[in-house]
Amino acid sequence: MTAQQGLPLDVSGAAEHPEPLDRAGLAARVARDVPAYAYVNLGIGQPTTVADHLDPAQGVVLHTENGMLGMGRAAHDDEVDPDLINAGKVPVVEPPGASYFHHADSFAMMRGGHLDVCVLGAFQVSAAGDLANWHTGAPDAIPAVGGAMDLAIGAKQVFVMMSLFAKDGSPKIVPSLTYPATGLACVDRVFTDLGVFAVDHERGRVVLLEAYGTTAADLAERLTGA
């Protein structure tokens, strides 16, 4: 199950790094690609940890879809205010310069293309940049989408952050999705423990930018069998 025929993958220009990225390293690597002064939405779960690696000097402003721009860090102890939470329902703090708005305005902000970057987890990303992150497709699963489909189509750039291989060893970058789609042709960059990839939308292929803890050739073999 590990190699896939037909994944259009270009590894020719990839840089190689000796160590794989651990969770903190991956979050830091994503943070490095967030442009200065960007407006950014960090998806629930692992993407949230990117915030810890943003340099305040970058001037990045965080959006949370439950109605806040300029969201602060997680709240601790007596900072916790049940009226002030992020999209993952974790209490956060209010830094100076924040603003609040209702859900329709918040999603208008997102869907209107005003966010520069959103960072999402994924089950799968296809060579065309299709994203699957909301539904396993299991027949007895209860569907629950939250804001995933809005985030997938709304931001100027969509970053995915995930492990490159599933627990069963199968690649999560795939020729075409086998899980139900969240959005089509929406992913721009994929950050994983073993490699950072760009989606080349014009040519419908995935380009390895950096390999971590392995070689470009090894990744090519594990992803394409070639």
Partner 1 sequence: MGRTTFHTDPVEALAGVADGDTVLVGGFGMAGMPVRLVDALIDVGAKGLTIVSNNAGNGETGLAALLKAGRVAKVICSFPRQADSYVFDGLYRAGEVELEVVPQGNLAERMRAAGAGIGAFYTPTGVGTLLAEGKEQRTIDGRDHVLEMPIRGDWALIAAQAADPMGNLVYRKTARNFGPVMATAAATTVVEVRETVDLGAMDPEAVVTPGIFVDRVVTS
Q: Using DSSP, state whether 45 is helix, strand or coil.
A: coil
| Contact present, 210 and 25 (Cβ < 8 Å) | no
- Of the ranges 18-26, 176-184, 190-198, 203-211, which one interacts with partner 1 (CB under 8 A)? 176-184
Nearer to partner 1 by Cβ, of 27 and 132: the residue is 132
In angstroms, give the least distance from the CB of 175 to partner 1. 16
| Contact present, 135 and 96 (Cβ < 8 Å) | no
C-alpha separations of 46 from 25, 88, 119, 120, 178 in Å = 12, 11, 9, 8, 23
Nearer to partner 1 by Cβ, of 18 and 82: the residue is 82
Q: Figure out which of the listed residues 47, 129, 154, 171 binds partner 1, where binding follows CB under 8 A.
A: 154
Q: In the window 31-60, what residues touch partner 1 (CB under 8 A)?
A: 35-39, 59-60
Q: How far apart are CA 135 and CA 144, in angstroms?
A: 7
24 binds partner 1 (CB under 8 A): no
Catalytic residue (choose from 16, 19, 65, 79): 65
Which x/- pattern over 73-92 shows residues binding partner 1 (rule: CB under 8 A)? --------xxxxxx--x---
188 binds partner 1 (CB under 8 A): no
Q: How far apart are CA 118 and CA 174, in angstroms?
A: 21
| Contact present, 52 and 119 (Cβ < 8 Å) | no
Nearer to partner 1 by Cβ, of 35 and 121: the residue is 35
Kindly state the number of chain residues that form the binding site for partner 1, as judged by CB under 8 A: 63
